[in-house]
Amino acid sequence: MKLSALAAQIKNCGHCEVINNGGRIFVGTGSAFYCMDGYPRTQDAGELGAMLGIPQKKMKNIFYHEEYTIDGKLYGVRWDDEPEHEGTTSEIKTRIVINGEELIALRNPDGSVGFIRSELLKPVEGELNKEFAQICVRPTNQDCRFIYAVKDGMILRALIAPMSIKDDVADDLDEIIAELMSRRQSRIVEKMHDDLQDLAAQEAAEKAKQIKNREEK
């Protein structure tokens, strides 16, 4: 994992949360949590800040707290590697930028589309480049209804909350999509018109050829 990217998130939002899932540690900001397998177990904010390269003075101004899962569950989310009802997503190639934030669109198994901030994937970019890396979606009983799980094969590496698209932004996107669909329809009509003209020209040429052949006979 890229610790500097995780540190940047914590410094930017001023919030650091440590989740203990039966001894397995996740560190994050509330929007995303990253598995700390393979890293030393820290005892407090000072030790965690030192490991992440956050100066002690800066760390003192960051809200730090710890939570424990109960039977592998916290905030309505399962923190296991392979919970029930988890599905695989597929990334839509086109990315969008809203108010300066790049969003990745993911197609969920039910056909719906969710968005995550590309910034939140930076700590696990290395994992995502591995052969069996995948982004899955798992249900929650919270308002967001689902959460994304970055996995290296079957192993959970991060949990990332989906980005909520506000109504005014959705209205803007609807307008843009309507314009794009209108342009596509215009191109289709133009192509049909051109194809019909070509067909008419071919038929006229064939007919003229037939008339010429009859006259020569």
- Domain assignments of the chain as residue spans, ordered by start: 3-78, 87-160, 167-217
d(CA 121, CA 57): 27
State residue 99's pLDDT score. 83
Residue ranges of the chain whose pLDDT lies below 50: none
State residue 128's pLDDT score. 86
* Amino acid found at 96: I
d(CA 29, CA 52): 14
In 10 A of CB 20, how many CB atoms?
15
State residue 170's pLDDT score. 67
- CB distance 150 to 160 below 8 Å: yes
Q: Could you tell me the pTM of the whole model?
A: 0.78
State residue 205's pLDDT score. 74
State residue 147's pLDDT score. 93
In 10 A of CB 164, how many CB atoms?
10
State residue 207's pLDDT score. 74
Instruction: Say which DSSP state 121 is in.
Output: G
d(CA 21, CA 18): 10
State residue 84's pLDDT score. 85
Beta bridge partners of 21: 24
- Give residue-wise pLDDT tens across range 52-97: 999 999 999 999 999 999 999 999 899 999 888 899 999 998 888 8
* Amino acid found at 148: Y
